[in-house]
Copies of this chain bind each other. A is one copy, B any other.
Amino acid sequence: MLGAIEAGGTKFVCAVGDEKGNIEERIQIPTTVPAETMPKVVEFFNKYSVKAIGIGSFGPIDVNMDSHSYGNITSTPKTAWKDYPFVQALKEAFSVPIGFNTDVNAAALGEATFGAAKGLDSCLYITVGTGIGAGAIVQGKLLQGLSHPEMGHILVRRHPNDEFQGKCPYHHDCLEGLAAGPAIEARWGAKGNQLVDRVEVWDMEGYYIAQALMQYILILSPKKIILGGGVMNQKQVFISVYKYLQEFLNEYVVLPELADYIVSPGLGDNAGITGSLMLAHQAFQEEN
């Protein structure tokens, strides 16, 4: 039996399951402070005999195994979790192999193993919600270099009708600053689910996401792109994304039919927790 943690900024999902992606049991725990959240995590896994645990975590995190702070959450604005030694804490509680990566890299792994990119050695998973993040599989492996990707903060050109200043505390009007859920709410004065009929809202959203996809495609050339997260539940955004991406790329690269190439998660909301199970599976295999 394998354990999995999808550690999000508002809630932790903990689950047990197997390497085929079957989830046997799961709970949700609010993300408050480590001293409160983590004992509940340990209590959950104490009920089972897990041979490894995989973590897909909010970030930024240290994924560099040669680093002295490997396994930590690093410079998060959630101050109680800043520099929290996530892997070390679990190692001390369970003495089993621990897999550790970003929540979005975990979701990419889940989708590449059992979801919309099943069987492919290359895919990109993007979530557009409270923030914007992306993970990727490149030639069969989770993308990693100096650190994990931070694709949500790439620069985009402003839509000609957009005068909103942007909400990113670091870059103001980067992709996340202009196109994540809080930016939509701040720009238009209402939450997305109250703006369903406002065509201009979702047209502009697609304009920004299409720009991001253009950059991702030209740089990574993924074999499949999966767009998840709360904002993408507005399916009209996909239509706008297809339109603008075609306009921006102008046939410069040959792509599959866009409706087959840029899709919703095959695992729905289970991409992250399923990918975290796979991180557990990989960690177990690497240490055995």
Chain A 138-153 interface 0/1 with B at a Cβ cutoff of 8 Å (1 = within): 1101011111111101
**A171 and B254 form a contact (CB under 8 A):** no
**B215 and A219 form a contact (CB under 8 A):** yes
**A254 and B220 form a contact (CB under 8 A):** no
**B153 and A221 form a contact (CB under 8 A):** no
So how many copies of this chain end up in the complex?
Answer: 2
- Name which residue of chain B comes closest to A254, CB basis: B147
- Name which residue of chain B comes closest to A222, CB basis: B145
A114: CB under 8 A from chain B?
Answer: no
- Assembly CA distance A34 to B122 (angstroms): 34
**A218 and B151 form a contact (CB under 8 A):** yes
- Assembly CA distance A221 to B222 (angstroms): 16
Choice from B138, B249, B256 contacting A145 with Cβ under 8 Å: B138
Chain A 141-180 interface 0/1 with B at a Cβ cutoff of 8 Å (1 = within): 1011111111101111100000000000011000000000
Most buried by B among A139, A223, A256: A139
- Assembly CA distance A219 to B144 (angstroms): 10
**A153 and B220 form a contact (CB under 8 A):** no
- Assembly CA distance A170 to B223 (angstroms): 22
Most buried by B among A148, A155, A222, A256: A155
Residues of B within 8 A of A149 (CB): 218-221
Choice from B144, B150, B223 contacting A139 with Cβ under 8 Å: B144
**A155 and B157 form a contact (CB under 8 A):** yes
A248: CB under 8 A from chain B?
Answer: yes
**B250 and A147 form a contact (CB under 8 A):** no
Assuming the A-B contacts A138-B139, A139-B141, are A122 and B151 also in contact, with contact meaning beta carbons closer than 8 angstroms in the complex? no
Assuming the A-B contacts A220-B149, A221-B149, are A157 and B154 also in contact, with contact meaning beta carbons closer than 8 angstroms in the complex? no
**A252 and B171 form a contact (CB under 8 A):** yes
- Give me the interface of A with B, judged by CB distance under 8 Å: 60, 122, 138-139, 141, 143-151, 153-157, 170-171, 211, 214-216, 218-223, 248-256
The 9 closest A-B pairs by CB, nearest first: A145-B221, A122-B145, A170-B252, A146-B221, A150-B218, A170-B250, A154-B215, A146-B223, A219-B219
- A-B contacts, 23 of them at CB < 8 A, read A60-B253, A138-B139, A139-B145, A144-B221, A145-B220, A146-B221, A146-B222, A147-B253, A149-B218, A149-B219, A149-B221, A150-B221, A150-B252, A151-B218, A154-B214, A154-B215, A154-B218, A155-B157, A155-B211, A155-B214, A170-B251, A171-B248, A219-B219
